[in-house]
């Protein structure tokens, strides 16, 4: 199967899984469920679900188990976007080419949409018949909660907030990104792998090395795109980092060095996958996608 066809099929499966795990608007409260679906369905690059699908192929995870894990990951990601866009945080009006949730609905609804999407992710992981046995359900909840919480994504956002208008060193910037986006990307790969035959410690270590490189590359490319792309292509407000005086790779090491760093991280990601051989084909292709993307 070509990578393009694998991508399209995987994206379709993610959308179907999200449809399945999000409460319908026929269930009360309808407005909240409508807003949750507005935020989560029909948009986004779905990088985390794709990483999860690719890692699941490595350990022979069932389609059903991987779909459950990837839906949970995307719900956590979307909740973080909804809260991050709120006036108290980044105050952004555009996301995935649509008005943000607090603009389309209201602030209180955006707050509850994020809160409920986080809960819904853990509901999905522990729903009977979701393809995961008890031990896998518990393990995947642990991975996802740790990646989401104060030593993961939420902690990275707290560090991000404190860094606005202040000059970060490159190690400080890396620490922030390792938590803010890196933790959930790492969990995406680990959860996909753990949804199949439990990988040994060496395999998990290799996958973590891969994730660390891809996670950082993702952020470096994000910073590059914020400078060189336009809002229509990005689906969110371009040039916002500089306007908000946020520290970025481009602001700290410059555009050319940022491009070279992204290329090096791509090589690191591929090197980490060597022990897996051809079984890691999709993960390797996703590393290329992350580095070469234009939005």
Question: Which residue, 70 or 109, has its beta carbon nearer to a second copy?
Answer: 109
The SS3 of residue 295 is coil
The SS3 of residue 10 is helix
- Determine which residue in the list 8, 12, 27, 271 makes contact with a second copy, applying CB under 8 A: 27
- Determine which residue in the list 68, 70, 100, 148 makes contact with a second copy, applying CB under 8 A: 148
Q: Does 190 engage in binding with a second copy (CB under 8 A)?
A: no
d(CA 34, CA 27): 10
d(CA 33, CA 107): 15
Q: Interface with a second copy by CB under 8 A: which range of 45-53, 127-135, 212-220, 248-256? A: 127-135
Q: Does 289 engage in binding with a second copy (CB under 8 A)?
A: no
DSSP E strands, the chain: 94-95, 98-99
Q: Does 146 engage in binding with a second copy (CB under 8 A)?
A: yes
Question: Which residue, 34 or 268, has its beta carbon nearer to a second copy?
Answer: 34
**Shortest CB 142 distance to a second copy, Å:** 4
Residues 6-25 touching a second copy, rule: CB under 8 A, are 23
Sign of CA dihedral 263, 188, 227, 41: positive
Sign of CA dihedral 215, 218, 219, 220: positive
Q: Does 178 engage in binding with a second copy (CB under 8 A)?
A: no
Question: Which residue, 66 or 82, has its beta carbon nearer to a second copy?
Answer: 82
Q: Which residues pair with 13 in a beta bridge?
A: none
Q: Which tokens belong to 241?
A: 């980092």
Cα–Cα–Cα angle for 290, 148, 135, nearest 5°?
Answer: 100
Question: Which residue, 107 or 288, has its beta carbon nearer to a second copy?
Answer: 107
Q: Interface with a second copy by CB under 8 A: which range of 57-65, 138-146, 242-250, 259-267? A: 138-146
d(CA 231, CA 224): 13
Terminal Cα-to-Cα distance of the chain (whole angstroms) = 25
Q: Does 256 engage in binding with a second copy (CB under 8 A)?
A: no
d(CA 40, CA 71): 10
Which are the contacts of 255, defined by CB distance < 8 A and separation ≥ 6? 224, 227, 228
Q: Does 231 engage in binding with a second copy (CB under 8 A)?
A: no
- Contact at 8 Å (CB) between 73 and 121? yes
Q: Does 232 engage in binding with a second copy (CB under 8 A)?
A: no
Q: Does 215 engage in binding with a second copy (CB under 8 A)?
A: no
**Shortest CB 254 distance to a second copy, Å:** 28
Residues 42-101 touching a second copy, rule: CB under 8 A, are 79-80, 83, 86, 88-89
List contacts with a second copy (CB under 8 A): 23, 27-29, 31-33, 36, 79-80, 83, 86, 88-89, 106-112, 114-116, 118-120, 122-123, 125-127, 134-135, 137-139, 141-142, 144-146, 148-152, 154-155, 157-159, 161-162, 175
């Amino acid at each position: 199967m070509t990578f393009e066809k694998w991508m399209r099929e995987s994206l379709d499966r993610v959308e179907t899984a999200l449809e399945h795990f999000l409460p319908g608007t026929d269930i009360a409260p309808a407005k909240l469920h409508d807003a949750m679906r507005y935020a989560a369905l029909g948009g986004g690059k779905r990088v985390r679900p794709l990483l999860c699908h690719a890692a699941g192929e490595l350990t022979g995870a069932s389609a059903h188990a991987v779909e459950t894990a990837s839906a949970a990951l995307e719900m956590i990601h979307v909740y973080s976007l909804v809260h991050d866009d709120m006036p108290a945080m980044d105050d952004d009006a555009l996301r995935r080419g649509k008005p943000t949730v607090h603009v389309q609905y209201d602030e209180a609804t955006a707050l509850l949409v994020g809160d409920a999407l986080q809960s819904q992710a853990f509901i999905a992981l522990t729903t009977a018949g979701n393809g995961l046995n008890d031990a896998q359900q518990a393990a995947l909840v642990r991975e996802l909660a740790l990646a989401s919480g104060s030593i993961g994504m939420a902690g990275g956002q707290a560090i991000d907030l404190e860094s606005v208008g202040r000059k970060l060193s490159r190690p400080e910037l890396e620490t922030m990104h390792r938590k803010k986006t890196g933790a959930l990307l790492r969990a995406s790969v680990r959860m996909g792998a753990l949804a199949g035959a439990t990988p040994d410690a060496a395999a998990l270590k290799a996958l973590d090395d891969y994730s660390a490189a891809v996670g950082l590359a993702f952020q470096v490319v994000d910073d590059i795109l914020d400078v060189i792309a336009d809002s229509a292509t990005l689906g969110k407000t371009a040039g916002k980092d500089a306007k908000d005086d946020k520290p970025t790779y481009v602001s700290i090491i410059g555009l050319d060095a940022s491009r070279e760093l992204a290329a090096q991280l791509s090589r690191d990601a591929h090197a980490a996958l060597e022990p897996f051989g051809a079984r890691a084909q999709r993960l390797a292709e996703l590393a290329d996608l992350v580095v070469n993307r234009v939005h």
